[in-house]
């Protein structure tokens, strides 16, 4: 079974803090994704990566950065957390042209 794990299920941070969300997949997938999910807005793509050290902006990259130093690991970084970044963050991975496998999500609250 494909497994996508995320470093935390719940996270509470203060405004201005630097936040790291980590995602690890165990199936050697080329593609990895970070989404945020908000009520009424659905899933929105923040960044994705199609290879080690390669990344592309998604639909809402502002305020976020990413890092992919190893194929299995994709990190989302909030340089200076703000309250409007309170959300559910979901990581996914996939081989090319195939369905995506999602992690369990991290519910981030920024106070």
Sites of contact with another protein (CB under 8 A): 31, 33, 40-45, 48, 50, 56, 58, 90, 92, 94, 96-105
Q: Which residue has the tokens 């369905």?
A: 99
Q: Which two tokens stand for residue 17?
A: 């803090």
Residues sharing a CB contact under 8 Å with residue 62, sequence separation 6 or more, in sequence order: none
Cβ of residue 13: shortest distance to another protein, in angstroms? 21
- Cα–Cα distance, 55 to 47 (Å, whole number): 7
Is 33 or 64 the residue whose CB approaches another protein more closely? 33
Is 17 or 71 the residue whose CB approaches another protein more closely? 71
Are residues 45 and 59 in contact, defined by beta-carbon separation less than 8 angstroms?
A: yes
Q: Which residue has the tokens 């909030």?
A: 78
Cβ of residue 14: shortest distance to another protein, in angstroms? 25
Q: What is the DSSP letter of 97?
A: T
- Cα–Cα distance, 3 to 103 (Å, whole number): 8
Is 18 or 41 the residue whose CB approaches another protein more closely? 41
Cβ of residue 78: shortest distance to another protein, in angstroms? 21
Is 33 or 74 the residue whose CB approaches another protein more closely? 33
Cβ of residue 80: shortest distance to another protein, in angstroms? 27
């Amino acid at each position: 079974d494909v497994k996508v794990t995320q470093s935390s299920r719940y996270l509470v941070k203060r405004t201005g803090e630097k936040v790291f969300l980590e995602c690890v997949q165990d199936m050697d997938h080329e593609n990895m994704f970070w989404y945020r999910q908000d009520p009424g807005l659905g899933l929105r793509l923040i960044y994705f990566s199609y290879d080690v050290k390669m990344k592309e902006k998604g639909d809402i990259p502002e305020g976020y950065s990413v890092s992919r130093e190893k194929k299995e690991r994709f990190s989302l970084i909030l340089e200076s957390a703000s309250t409007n970044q309170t959300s559910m963050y979901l990581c996914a991975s996939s081989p090319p042209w195939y369905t995506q496998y999602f992690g369990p999500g991290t519910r981030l609250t920024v106070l």
